[in-house]
């Protein structure tokens, strides 16, 4: 097990977000007057021209910030970085009150199973099309720990698989229990991941992941499979940049949390010579700006600039 220099690691704290709603007139005037006043207020004004983001280093946040520069109609808009958990909380609170909100979103994510959401169309194609979530290993892992390497190399699943684990965790089940529940119900897939490997006796294995709901799910599932094979597994949540640095430097053995080609594209280019790319463990991932379906807006270009 490696020793982390925690002062060097930039952990991103969850921030509590406050959505600012525009005034809708006095309730003493009756519902009709209140509705008329609200109709005159744009979505942007109701949201204070703010897009709710996740961690500042995430590619989807960087792309959202670029969108505020590239789309003329987003002049005056800002992206407010927070955390995956804080974003989900803000989204849930807005939906409960049927208020407008725009978040930086991605699929797979449990929020698409729990809420009626949609991606805003992106005519400038800044967020790109489908992405892959890939597995990366440190150099030398195949020689040092061949059974762990082979399991990581053979690990793959679907969006539905991942969202099943994510939603169970969101509903209050512990991460380890949710992972083991999925494993118990999908032993055929797990057998494919471990095919051709041998059990070990306490071999240490260090995995790192960015603290997103999707990567919490995948990393815990892989960790529990590794434990069943006899590995002594440590999983460590860290920020995006440090995750890549840890695997590239050999401080960590691997990760199953590399979103490519766009989300982590710059980090991949920076570290790719020092990594072993084991390929996609999930196909069809997507990132973009996400809104509740009750919002009457379909494209980024439908939004209005700040006044």
SS3 string, the chain, reads CCCCCCCCCCCCCCCCCCCCCCCCCCHHHCHHHHHHHHHCCCHHHHCCCEEECCCCCCHHHHHHHHHHHHCHHHCCCEEECCCHHHHHHHHHHHHHCCCCCCEEEEECCCHHHHCCEEECECCCCCCCCCEEEEEEEECCHHHHCHHHHHHHHHCCCCHHHHHHHHHHHHCCCCHHHHHHHHHHHCHHHHHHHHCCCCCCCCCEEEEEEECCHHHHHHHHHHHHHHHHCCCEEEEEEECHHHHHHHHHHCCCCEEEEEEECCCCHHHHHHHHHHEEEEEEEEEEEEEEEEEECCCCCCEHHHCCCCC
In the chain, ranges of CATH 3.10.105.10 domains? 131-286
- Give every residue of the chain whose pLDDT is below 70, as ranges: 1-40
Q: In CATH terms, is domain 27-128+288-302 a member of 3.20.20.60?
A: no
Give CATH for domain 131-286: 3.10.105.10
In the chain, ranges of CATH 3.40.190.100 domains? 27-128+288-302
Which pLDDT belongs to residue 58?
A: 81
Which pLDDT belongs to residue 17?
A: 32
Which pLDDT belongs to residue 35?
A: 36
């Amino acid at each position: 097990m490696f020793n982390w220099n925690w002062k060097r690691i930039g952990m991103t704290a969850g921030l509590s977000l406050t959505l600012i709603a525009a005034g809708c007139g006095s309730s003493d005037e009756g519902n009709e007057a209140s509705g008329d006043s609200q109709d005159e207020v744009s979505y942007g004004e109701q949201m204070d021209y703010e897009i709710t983001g996740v961690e500042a280093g995430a590619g989807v946040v960087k792309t959202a910030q670029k969108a505020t520069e590239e789309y003329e109609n987003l002049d005056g808009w800002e992206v407010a970085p927070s955390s995956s958990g804080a974003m989900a909380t803000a989204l849930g609170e807005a939906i409960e009150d049927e208020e407008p909100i725009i978040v930086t979103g991605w699929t797979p994510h449990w929020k698409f199973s729990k809420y009626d959401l949609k991606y805003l169309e992106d005519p400038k194609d800044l967020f790109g099309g489908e992405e892959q979530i890939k597995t990366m290993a440190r150099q030398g892992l195949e020689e040092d720990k061949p059974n762990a390497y082979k399991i990581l190399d053979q690990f793959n699943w679907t969006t539905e698989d991942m969202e099943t684990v994510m939603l169970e965790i969101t509903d209050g089940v512990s991460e380890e229990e949710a992972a083991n529940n999925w494993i118990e119900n999908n032993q055929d897939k797990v057998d494919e991941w471990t095919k051709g490997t041998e059990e070990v006796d306490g071999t240490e294995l260090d995995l790192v992941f960015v603290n997103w709901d999707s990567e919490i799910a995948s990393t815990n599932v892989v960790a529990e499979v590794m434990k069943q094979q006899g590995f002594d597994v440590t999983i460590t949540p860290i920020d995006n940049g440090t995750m890549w640095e840890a695997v590239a430097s050999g401080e960590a053995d691997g990760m199953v949390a590399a979103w490519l080609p766009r989300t982590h594209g710059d980090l991949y280019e920076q570290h790719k010579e020092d990594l072993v790319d084991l390929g996609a463990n999930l196909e069809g991932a997507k990132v973009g700006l996400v809104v509740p379906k009750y919002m009457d807006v379909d494209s980024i270009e439908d939004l209005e600039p700040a006044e």
